[in-house]
């Protein structure tokens, strides 16, 4: 399958850049000569990498990096320029995969396609963005001794209720650990876990409100995810399970095998279910901690 790369440079150089990218058999170039044109392409094309110059007619390559961060944060960027890294403000590149290639090097153009393929492959391996409080979030999750808590039956009943309430194919409660999401209860499917690269909850947990995807075929984040396709997932809504300290440790989600939307009232209801799941987990943990001293008596 060909991988589409957005090439952004001035009109006198764009042809050379796109030709260098397309020298690789599995890469296809889409061209833009301005930041605004590149942003338009990000919204209309299924781009897996961006190659950009630094000096552009209506801004800089870092302006484009910022746009990538806001619209498609998993997309890697190759900054192909003769401008020294010391002269570039890289603040916009935080939490993004940005590769620098000096275009004045003798073999820079010949190496460009190889570099692009390499950063695409690396971005697939990285696979997901973590929240700013990831370390503290994982510590908060570890504080709940889930394997010792009597929550299975309560959560099974809750996911049954959620699936019936929304009339969806699947509902689940999942905790998002360092590398995977483990499902504590799942109605409508027999799933134990998904890697964080594959689960949609990796994205949903970064939003304060409920994340709704009416049809993953029209969402660049998910429409090439073979695992989601294999599971038959077409639509999704997910709400955060948030600890009293404000850390998101899991999700309560509903999925369907066909496109569908969720009204604001339905989203509010899903948030209530997520709060209920968190309250059950918190209550069981509190009771277990209160009983712990009795074990040593």
Mean pLDDT, consecutive 10-residue stretches, the chain (297 aa), reads 89 96 93 96 89 95 86 83 83 66 93 89 61 88 78 90 97 93 94 88 90 89 83 96 94 97 97 95 78 55
**Which domain-ending residue is among 126, 155, 181?**
126
Q: Tell me: do 246 and 287 sit in the same domain.
A: yes
What's the pLDDT at 167?
97
Q: Which two tokens stand for residue 157?
A: 């009943």
Q: Tell me: do 90 and 160 sit in the same domain.
A: no
Q: Tell me: do 50 and 176 sit in the same domain.
A: no
- Asked if residue 2 lies in contact with residue 27, where contact means CB atoms within 8 angstroms, the answer is yes
Q: Tell me: do 199 and 289 sit in the same domain.
A: yes
CATH number reported for the structural domain that contains residue 76 in this entry? 3.40.50.2300
**Which domain-ending residue is among 104, 126, 148?**
126
Q: Tell me: do 85 and 104 sit in the same domain.
A: yes
The answer for 246, left when phi > 0, alpha when psi is -120 to 50, beta otherwise, is left
Q: What domain range includes position 262?
A: 134-295
Please tell me the total count of domains within the chain: 2
Q: How far apart are the C-alpha atoms of 288 and 102, rounded to whole Å?
A: 59
What's the pLDDT at 91?
61
Extract the runs of DSSP E, i.e. beta strands, from 116-247. Answer: 170-176, 180-187, 193-195, 211-213, 235-242
- Asked if residue 30 lies in contact with residue 45, where contact means CB atoms within 8 angstroms, the answer is yes
Q: Tell me: do 56 and 173 sit in the same domain.
A: no
CATH number reported for the structural domain that contains residue 261 in this entry? 3.30.450.40
The number of beta carbons lying within 10 Å of the beta carbon of residue 246 is 10
The number of beta carbons lying within 10 Å of the beta carbon of residue 140 is 18
Q: Tell me: do 154 and 112 sit in the same domain.
A: no
What's the pLDDT at 171?
97
SS (H, E, C) 265-297: HHHHHHHHHHHHHHHHHHHHHHHHHHHHHHHCC
**Which domain-ending residue is among 110, 126, 142?**
126
Q: Tell me: do 192 and 281 sit in the same domain.
A: yes
What's the pLDDT at 125?
45
What's the pLDDT at 297?
46
What's the pLDDT at 127?
53
What's the pLDDT at 101?
92
Q: Which two tokens stand for residue 94?
A: 């935080």
Q: Tell me: do 148 and 240 sit in the same domain.
A: yes
What's the pLDDT at 293?
61
Q: How far apart are the C-alpha atoms of 190 and 175, rounded to whole Å?
A: 16
Q: How far apart are the C-alpha atoms of 17 and 9, rounded to whole Å?
A: 8
Q: Tell me: do 106 and 181 sit in the same domain.
A: no
Name residue, tokens 């987990």: 281
Q: Tell me: do 278 and 165 sit in the same domain.
A: yes
Buried b (16+ CB within 10 A) or exposed e, 96-119: bbbbbbebeeeeebeebbebbbeb
Contacts of 248 (CB under 8 A, 6+ apart): 131, 137, 176, 205, 240, 241, 242
Q: Tell me: do 142 and 217 sit in the same domain.
A: yes
């Amino acid at each position: 399958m060909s991988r589409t790369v957005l090439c952004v440079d001035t009109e006198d150089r764009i042809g050379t850049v796109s030709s260098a990218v397309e020298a690789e058999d599995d890469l296809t170039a889409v061209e833009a000569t301005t930041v605004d044109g590149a942003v338009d392409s990000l919204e209309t094309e299924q781009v897996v990498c961006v190659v950009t110059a630094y000096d552009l007619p209506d801004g800089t390559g870092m302006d484009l990096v910022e746009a990538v961060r806001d619209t498609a944060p998993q997309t890697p960027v190759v900054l192909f320029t003769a401008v020294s890294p010391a002269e570039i403000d890289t603040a916009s590149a935080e939490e993004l995969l940005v590769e620098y290639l000096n275009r004045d090097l003798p073999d820079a153009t010949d190496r460009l396609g190889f570099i692009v393929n390499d950063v695409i492959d690396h971005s697939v391996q990285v696979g997901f963005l973590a929240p700013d409080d990831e370390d503290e979030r994982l510590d908060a999750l570890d504080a709940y001794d889930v394997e010792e808590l009597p929550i299975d039956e309560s959560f099974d009943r809750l996911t049954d209720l959620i699936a019936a309430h929304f009339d969806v194919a699947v509902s689940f409660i999942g905790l998002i650990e360092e590398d995977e999401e483990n499902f504590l209860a799942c109605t409508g499917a027999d799933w134990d876990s998904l890697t964080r690269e594959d689960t949609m909850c990796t994205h949903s947990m970064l939003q304060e409100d409920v994340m709704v995807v009416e049809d993953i075929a029209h969402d660049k984040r998910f429409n090439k995810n073979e695992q989601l396709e294999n599971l038959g997932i077409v639509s999704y809504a997910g709400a955060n399970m948030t600890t009293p300290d404000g850390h998101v440790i899991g999700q309560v989600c509903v999925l369907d095998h066909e496109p569908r939307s969720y009204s604001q009232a339905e989203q509010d209801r899903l948030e209530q279910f997520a709060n209920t799941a968190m309250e059950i987990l918190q209550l069981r943990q509190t009771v277990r901690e209160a009983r712990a001293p009795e074990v040593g008596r």
